Amino acid sequence: MLQPYVAMMWQRILASALIKSNYVSSYKMTNQSISLIQSDRAETWQEILSDLITDPQELLRILKLNPDTSPYSLEALAQFPLKAPRPFVERIEKGNWHDPLLLQIWPSPFEENQADGFIADPLNEEEFNPVPGLLHKYQGRVLLTAAPHCAIHCRYCFRRHFDYRANSPSRARWEEAFAYIAADSSIEEVILSGGDPLAISDKQFHWLLQQLANIKALTTVRIHTRLPIVIPQRITSELLSCLNETRLRVVMVVHCNHYQELDSAVTAKFYTLADVGVTMLNQSVILKDVNDNAGALTDLNKALFQHNVLPYYLHMPDPVAGTGHFYVTDEHATQLIKKLHASLPGYLVPMLVRENPGERGKTRIA
Ligand code: SF4
């Protein structure tokens, strides 16, 4: 295990030396130096994606858990199937039903509870859907659904009921979305979301980035993704090359809820992304029994910063049908933020926010 890590560190040192010397200007790197910093294990991300754990029984076997002590819900599975990448599952503690990573993916019978006020589309996104696959909620920014699927199914997801089929990208729909963006010169930033925008191939992603770069008024592309966390192998040299080459400023907002999600394979990829000029931020969702304590959030934000990623948002969970067991109150979340302020420098305390239906921006809670 140590050898690939040491090799990766040497490659990183060499890549940094290339930047510091005049071989590579400012933060942009040559494709040759990008290939130097690759440390992917033999399995590709596509292979991992085609071998996701989708059977709860298999997950139980791997994690050495007894199904009698915590059953799963067939109804929840039918509504939102189990999807768990093996590199993520490897970080779950065996024999521990309370593991914070397991709780995020386990189709619990609690999902069958009909909690008051928890509905399929709590953010009323359809109202802001002028073109299929495009949401225009915020001033100066639009959100594009770049891929209709994710590598993992997070049980608390606010889009678990989203009609991805109606919003699936196709070339014709992309053209419609590009025309909409180009026609409004106030739009400066495109947020690629999903699903997970990195679930599309490098070739498709490259094409998409090129089309966006052709729209003059755009300055920034922001990528909201959980893939670098759950399958770090997704950060390929091809992807790094196209992020490096685009004229657009690239911001990547990864989605990590707990420090246990950060292993050395994940954090190594944060450095490679920063090395090609990507601004790295993180957003988390505050989830009952997963990360709703000051210790877990302190450790997470310190670990992120140690590896080049700044905490950005801490989201209140959205009241989505089937997710009531993850909910925390505003009072509890506010108390946590106070504790974080007492133990961390201000730049490591994420903004506690909520999305309110009908509002064009996030509402800051504390
Ligand atoms: S990766 Fe994001 S969009 Fe996909 S299921 Fe998880 S929270 Fe939802």
Atom number of ligand 1 nearest to Cα 285: 7
Q: Of the candidates 265, 249, 298, which has an alpha carbon nearest to the alpha carbon of residue 4? A: 265
Its CATH class, for the domain covering 119-364, is alpha beta
Tens-digit pLDDT profile for residues 290-299: 999 999 999 9
Q: Is the CB of 153 under 6 A from ligand 1?
A: yes
Alpha carbon of 155 to ligand 1 centroid (Å): 8
What is the pTM (predicted TM-score) of this model?
Answer: 0.86
Looking at residue 164, its pLDDT comes to 64
Q: According to the 3-state scheme, what is the secondary structure of 208-262?
A: HHHHHHCCCCCCEEEEEECHHHHCHHHCCHHHHHHHHHCCCEEEEEEECCCHHHC
How far, in Å, is the centroid of ligand 1 from the Cα of 226? Answer: 7
| C-alpha 142 – ligand 1 centre gap (Å) | 19
- 198 Cβ inside 6 Å of ligand 1: no
What is 44-112 written as a DSSP string? -HHHHHTT-B--HHHHHHHTT--GGGS---HHHHHHS---B-HHHHTTSPTT-TT-TTHHHH---GGGG
Contact, 70 vs 253, CB < 8 A?
no
Q: Which pLDDT score, from 0 to 100, does residue 127 have?
A: 63
pLDDT band at 104 (very low <50, low <70, confident <90, very high): very high
- Paired residues of 252 in beta bridges: 223, 280
- Alpha-carbon span 126 to 134, nearest angstrom: 10
- Which residue is associated with the tokens 């090359």? 241
Mean pLDDT for the chain overall: 86
Instruction: Give dist(CA 56, CA 102) in Å, integer.
Output: 11
Residue 30 to residue 276: CA distance in whole angstroms: 9
The pLDDT assigned to 318 comes to 84
More confident residue, 107 or 19: 107
Rounded CA-CA distance 264/287 in Å is 24
- Residue-wise pLDDT for 247-264, tens only, equals 999 999 999 999 999 999
**Nearest atom (ligand 1) to Cα of 195:** 3
Token code pair at residue 182: 């180009």
- Could you tell me which residue, 355 or 211, shows the higher pLDDT? 211
Q: How many CB atoms lie within 10 A of CB 306?
A: 11
Is residue 212's pLDDT more than 70? yes
Which residue among 153, 155, 261 is best mutated to probe the pocket of ligand 1, counting the most ligand atoms within 8 A of its Cβ?
Answer: 153
- Out of 14-28, 205-219, 344-358, pick the least confident: 14-28
- Distance of CA 158 from the midpoint of ligand 1 (Å): 8
d(CA 157, ligand 1 centre) in Å = 6
User: Residue 11 has what pLDDT?
Assistant: 44
How many C-beta atoms surround the C-beta of residue 34 within 10 A? 22
Question: In this model, does residue 131 exceed pLDDT 50?
Answer: yes
Measured between alpha carbons, how far is residue 220 from residues 43, 173, 235, 248 in Å?
32, 21, 20, 5
Q: Ligand 1 test: best mutation among 196, 230, 252, most atoms within 8 Å of CB?
A: 196
> Alpha-carbon torsion 93, 98, 103, 106, what sign?
positive
Instruction: Report which protein residue has its CA nearest ligand 1's atom 8.
Output: 157
Whether the CA torsion 34, 39, 43, 49 is positive or negative: it is negative
pLDDT for 10-61, tens place per residue? 444 444 433 333 333 334 455 555 544 444 446 999 999 999 999 999 999 9
What is the distance between the alpha carbons of residues 165 and 171, in angstroms, rounded to a whole number? 15
- Name the pairing type of β-strands 189-193 and 220-225: parallel
The residues, any chain, with a CB within 8 Å of residue 153's CB and separated by 6 or more, are: 80, 81, 82, 83, 84, 105, 160
Atom 1 of ligand 1, nearest CA residue: 226
Q: Using the mean position of ligand 1's atoms as its centre, give its distance from the Cα of residue 147 in Å.
A: 11
> Is the CB of 150 inside a 6 Å radius of any atom of ligand 1?
yes
For residue 13, how far is its CA from the centre of ligand 1 (angstroms)?
Answer: 34
Q: Is the CB of 196 under 6 A from ligand 1?
A: yes
**d(CA 286, ligand 1 centre) in Å:** 14
Ligand 1 atom index nearest CA of 156: 7
Q: Which residue has the higher pLDDT, 120 or 106?
A: 106
Residue 226, pLDDT score? 98
User: Ligand 1 centroid vs 364 CA: distance in angstroms?
Assistant: 22
User: Is pLDDT of 356 > 90?
Assistant: no
Write down the pLDDT at residue 67: 79
pLDDT of residue 171: 79
pLDDT category of residue 215 using cuts at 50, 70 and 90: very high
Question: For residue range 151-168, what is the model confidence (pLDDT) as tens digits?
Answer: 999 999 987 776 666 666
Check if the beta carbon of residue 43 is closer than 8 Å to that of residue 18.
Answer: no
Q: Which residues pair with 192 in a beta bridge?
A: 144, 223
